[in-house]
Amino acid sequence: MKAETEFFKSLSDETRLKMLWLLMAKEEICVCDIMAVLDITQSKASRHLRYLYRLGWVTDRREAVWVNYRLSVAPGSPEDRQLKLMADILSSRPEAQALKARLEQRLAAKGQSREGAAVCRCF
Amino acid sequence: MRKEARFFKSLADETRLKILWLLSGTEELCVCDVIDVLGITQSKASRHLRYLYHLGWVTDRRDGLWMNYRLCVPPGSPGEKLLKLLKEMLASQPEAQALRKQLARCLETKQHTECARRRKSSQKMSLQELPET
């Protein structure tokens, strides 16, 4: 039953929980956005994202020096059901709503500064 | 969002996962049952059961030296939904099935032991306490 334990462990960390919550709101997110919104270091963000990647929660797409992540959860799978349950719980939490708002702000600001360029200019 | 992470952490430990699995298949378990079936020490069993107790997964009932635990997840609650998911995932797992069988055997052989005698007498007492209708 070790595999099931690992499965439930994914959401047992606050940073990973927040990451999955943000990823549910957007199609794809760059590591730099996650760093900015959660106010964590690049090494912490990448470590947790690689963890989620190894367990099959997300896929990655490299863009220059940055890596973009998106959810890769099959509809109806245990992962999908757990995410829905998490979203149910979090949707009424002000802290979770504030995170989503911060992500929107961040993406809006980035969109203006990049002026339509297809590359991520994060700093 | 620490509280929510802690909620999911309940199932992020193999021992707690197994305890919840056993509890979901029976009404009430004595700490000694958990010790026997999972082959763990009393201190480990009690520690994890207290953890689950503090997070609201189980309620306790003292019976002499031993503590009994039962699930307390209200229908429709996040806990109940998570437990349902766990049960579905484990239903086809040979290891999980073997644990359930072991528990059934354990409860059967226990009928003659001290713990079971106490349980029977406490059941009788609670029956006597029921008001006549």
The ranges assigned to domains in chain A are: 8-105
- At B63, is the secondary structure helix, strand, or coil? strand
Cβ contacts (< 8 Å) between A12 and chain B: which residues? 5-6, 8-9, 11-12
Q: Per the confidence metrics, is the pTM higher than 0.90?
A: no
Cβ contacts (< 8 Å) between B7 and chain A: which residues? 89
Question: What's the confidence (pLDDT) of residue B66?
Answer: 86
Q: Do B96 and A1 touch (CB under 8 A)?
A: yes
Q: Do A5 and B95 touch (CB under 8 A)?
A: no
CA–CA separation, B8 and A1 (whole Å): 16
* Residue B124: band (very low, low, confident or very high) from pLDDT cuts 50, 70, 90: low
- At A52, is the secondary structure helix, strand, or coil? helix
Question: What's the confidence (pLDDT) of residue B55?
Answer: 93
Which architecture, in CATH terms, is A8-105?
Answer: Orthogonal Bundle (1.10)
Q: List C-alpha distances in Å: B65 to A88, B117, B118.
A: 41, 14, 11
Instruction: Give the residue from chain A lying closest to B86, CA to CA.
Output: A4
* Residue B49: band (very low, low, confident or very high) from pLDDT cuts 50, 70, 90: very high
Domain B2-129 has CATH 1.10.10.10: yes
